[in-house]
């Protein structure tokens, strides 16, 4: 049997295709960004995202297969994101995977995007020691969970409103930093000082998150102080976010006593967050697991990696879009 999985990721605004083997080696990957499509809107416009996926997906698949000199006979499965995400974007990936599955005679698995992020730390020979505490920080999700193994999760808490990544993007837009907002704010924050007093919502309350109040506070400060230093505002915002995330991670490590702390999702690429979580893991004497920066944001390699878990456990969900799919659902 071949040892390659074709991964397809179209949950939001990137068309990504990858070939990954069981060890986490990425044989080939290509991701087509839609930044120029959505830039004028200040965020993702769902209908345009779907159309862009339709235009990009088949050429992207062909490009990846050609780069790795792979034919359908070399594949053991196709893994495709079935949720959570934008329903139109999900449908493009799922329909394509189903058609290829029928035409090539290769089984297709509908993969939970959140589980893909969690498995991103295994790419390029990474290894998580279980049990572990996982924190997912991305543009669409913020959650913290306990992992007994690669398959069994206990959700501790999630966001009640905006995700931390969404807040980064919205604050970046307020400051005129453009898209993607996260890297732009991190760069500006390095040049500033966190001198502004901003709230730390729910910092001392369990494992739930809430970032809408912080975002609103930034908006009010900019409105009342239009001459505020962009760098100081960025540094103050980042410091507030990190204080909340560190407090939750500290609490979870003290309660669960895991062997690893796993930080995944687009915001895990933040240098400031990486430094802060390195300190947290060091204080608790646990192994810190971070995906390589290039695998932190949405990508098809993580979807292919997660597909191996579905195959090994004989779980084959229907190829049906589930925009609000939860972590607990395979």
> Which positions make up the binding site?
113, 117, 136-140, 169, 182, 186, 298
Strand partners of residue 288: 261
Cα separations in angstroms, 27 against 43, 111, 124, 207, 239: 32, 20, 11, 38, 38
Structure letter (DSSP) for residue 74: G
H-only helix segments in the chain: 35-38, 46-67, 87-104, 113-119, 164-174, 181-190, 212-224, 230-256, 271-284, 300-313
Q: Is residue 215 classed as helix, strand or coil in its secondary structure? A: helix
Instruction: Residue count of the chain, please give it.
Output: 330
Q: Is the peptide bond before 15 cis (omega within 30 degrees of 0)?
A: no
- Write out the binding residues for substrate: 136-140, 169, 182, 186
Q: How far apart are CA 176 and CA 142, in angstroms?
A: 24
| β 4-9/14-21 pair status | antiparallel
Exposed e or buried b per residue across 251-269, where buried means at least 16 C-beta atoms within 10 angstroms of its C-beta: bbbeebebebbbbbbbbbb
- Write out the binding residues for Fe cation: 113, 117, 298
Q: Tell me how crowded residue 181 is: count the other CB atoms within 10 A of its CB.
A: 23
Strand partners of residue 77: 5
Query: φ and ψ at 9, to 5 degrees?
Result: -130, 115
Q: How far apart are CA 190 and CA 237, in angstroms?
A: 12
Q: How far apart are CA 77 and CA 94, in angstroms?
A: 14
| β 14-21/26-33 pair status | antiparallel
Q: How far apart are CA 35 and CA 217, in angstroms?
A: 27
């Amino acid at each position: 049997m071949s040892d390659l999985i074709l991964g397809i990721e179209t949950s939001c605004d990137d068309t990504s295709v990858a070939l990954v083997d069981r060890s986490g080696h990425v044989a080939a990957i290509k991701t087509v960004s839609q930044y120029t499509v959505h830039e004028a809107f200040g965020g993702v416009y769902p209908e345009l995202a779907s159309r862009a996926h339709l235009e990009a997906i088949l050429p992207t698949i062909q490009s990846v297969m050609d780069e790795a000199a792979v034919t359908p006979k070399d594949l053991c499965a196709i893994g495709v994101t079935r949720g959570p995400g934008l329903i139109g974007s999900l449908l493009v990936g799922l329909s394509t995977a189903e058609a290829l599955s029928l035409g090539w005679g290769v089984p297709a698995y509908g993969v939970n995007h959140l589980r893909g992020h969690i498995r991103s730390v295994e790419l390029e020979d990474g290894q998580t020691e279980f049990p572990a505490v996982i924190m997912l920080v991305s543009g669409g999700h913020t959650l913290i969970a306990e992992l007994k193994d690669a398959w069994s999760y206990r959700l501790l808490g999630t966001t009640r409103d905006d995700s931390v990544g969404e807040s980064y993007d919205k604050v970046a837009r307020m400051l005129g930093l453009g898209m993607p907002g996260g890297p732009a704010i991190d760069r500006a924050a390095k040049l500033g000082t966190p001198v502004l007093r901003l709230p730390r919502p729910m910092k001392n309350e369990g494992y739930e998150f809430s970032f809408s109040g912080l975002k609103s506070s930034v908006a009010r400060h900019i409105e009342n102080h239009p001459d505020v230093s962009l760098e100081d505002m960025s540094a103050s915002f980042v410091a507030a976010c990190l204080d909340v995330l560190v407090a939750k991670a500290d609490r979870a490590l003290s309660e669960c006593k895991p062997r690893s702390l796993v930080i995944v999702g687009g915001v895990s690429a933040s240098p400031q967050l990486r430094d802060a979580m390195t300190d947290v893991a060091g204080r608790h004497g646990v192994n810190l697991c971070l995906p390589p920066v290039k695998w932190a944001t949405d990508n098809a390699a993580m979807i292919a990696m997660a597909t191996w878990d579905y195959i090994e456990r004989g779980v084959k969900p229907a190829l049906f879009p589930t925009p609000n799919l939860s972590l607990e659902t395979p």
